Amino acid sequence: EAQVTQNPRYLITVTGKKLTVTCSQNMNHEYMSWYRQDPGLGLRQIYYSMNVEVTDKGDVPEGYKVSRKEKRNFPLILESPSPNQTSLYFCASSVGTGGGYEQYFGPGTRLTVT
Amino acid sequence: KQEVTQIPAALSVPEGENLVLNCSFTDSAIYNLQWFRQDPGKGLTSLLLIQSSQREQTSGRLNASLDKSSGRSTLYIAASQPGDSATYLCAVRPWEGAQKLVFGQGTRLTINP
């Protein structure tokens, strides 16, 4: 089944404790992104990647890191989480021109930082 | 700067009704528009993707139309069912290769049995 997977789905952590949210897609998509969703603010892009070793900042990159060492994986790293990073996080992927850039989303990771 | 608006923010209708959800965007120069469904606390499920050269797309009871010149898209749901209750989001990809979708705030739809 074609899908984007994220782990963990739920995470409660404390301020300053480094964490990684994994994202993997099995559709051989070139493009991958991370978004966060907050009430009243909608979906905001954190980082994106156009291919292996090619990443760039989205609208709200502060406090986050990403890497793209393999085409299928795009982990999101919070080096020192803070309470304002409590949010619902989504990983997304899309194929390029041939696939019309249809965007597929993962199931989400609900992060709580205390 | 592209902005996407969805009105109303919430809609409640009886089961069986046909309904229309609206999405408007400020810049008509888009590459495509995508409709998503989101259940509470869950991920986004792609419903329909309309390329800028297309006027509409259909999937089952869903039909999405696109009028680029007026900056509008509609999602038509026929014979609504309680299982259709969810938040519906539209998103615009501004140009080919753009790496960010611009989302509307969504319409929270409730279908009453």
Average pLDDT value for residue range B51-62: 95
User: How many contacts (CB atoms, under 8 Å) link A and B?
Assistant: 55
Q: Judge whether residue B78 has pLDDT over 70.
A: yes
pLDDT beyond 80 at B67: yes
Chain B residues near residue A96 by CB distance under 8 angstroms: 97
Rounded mean pLDDT, B35-46: 92
pLDDT score, position B19: 96
Chain B CB within 8 Å of residue A98 CB: no
| Min distance A13 CA to chain B CA atoms (Å) | 19
Q: What is the pLDDT of residue A101?
A: 82
From B19's Cα to the closest Cα of chain A, the distance in A is: 24
Q: Which helix (H) or strand (E) covers residue B48, if one does?
A: strand B44-51
SS3 A16: coil
Inter-chain contact B43–A48, Cβ cutoff 8 Å? Answer: no
What confidence score (pLDDT) does residue A98 get?
A: 66
State residue B110 phi and psi, 5-degree precision: -120, 125
Neighbours of A31 (CB within 10 A): 21
pLDDT in tens, A19-73: 999 999 999 999 999 999 999 888 999 999 999 999 999 999 999 999 999 999 9
The upper half-sphere exposure of residue B26, i.e. CA atoms within 13 Å in the direction of its Cβ, equals: 8
Task: State how far the alpha carbon of B55 is from the alpha carbons of A36, B11, B29, B59, in Å.
Answer: 31, 25, 15, 14
Instruction: Tell me the per-residue pLDDT of A79-104, one tens digit each, with 9 for 90 and over.
Output: 999 999 999 999 999 987 666 788 99
Smallest Cα–Cα separation from A87: which of B108, B107, B41, B59? B41
Nearest residue to B34 via CA among A2, A97, A102, A43: A102
For residues A64 and A79, give the distance between their C-alpha atoms in angstroms, rounded to a whole number: 7
- Quote the pLDDT of residue B41: 82
Cross-chain CB nearest to A45 (options B32, B42, B100): B100
d(CA A55, CA B81): 42
Q: What is the pLDDT of residue A33?
A: 96
Please tell me the predicted confidence (pLDDT) of residue B100: 87
Chain A nearest C-alpha distance from B44 (Å) = 6
Residues of A in contact with B49 (CB under 8 A): 100, 102
Write out pLDDT tens, residues B16-37.
999 999 999 999 999 999 999 9
Residue A111, sorted as left (phi over 0), alpha (psi -120 to 50) or beta, turns out to be: beta
Question: In whole angstroms, what is the distance from residue A73 CA to residue A51 CA?
Answer: 10
- Counting every residue written for chain A, the total comes to 114
The token duo for A22 is 């994994």
Give the tokens for residue A90.
Answer: 């989504």
What is the rounded distance in angstroms from the CA atom of residue B66 to the CA atom of residue A65? 37
Question: Residue written as tokens 């991370």?
Answer: A34
- What is the distance in angstroms between the Cα of A16 and the nearest Cα belonging to chain B? 25
Q: List the single best residue of A101, A104, A110, A111 to mutate versus B (max B Cβ within 10 A).
A: A101
Q: How confident is the model at residue B95 (pLDDT cuts 50, 70, 90)?
A: confident
Residues B65-83, mean pLDDT to the nearest whole number? 97
DSSP lists the bridge partners of residue A36 as A44, A89
Q: Do A107 and B43 touch (CB under 8 A)?
A: yes
Is A48 in contact with A34 (CB distance < 8 Å)?
A: yes
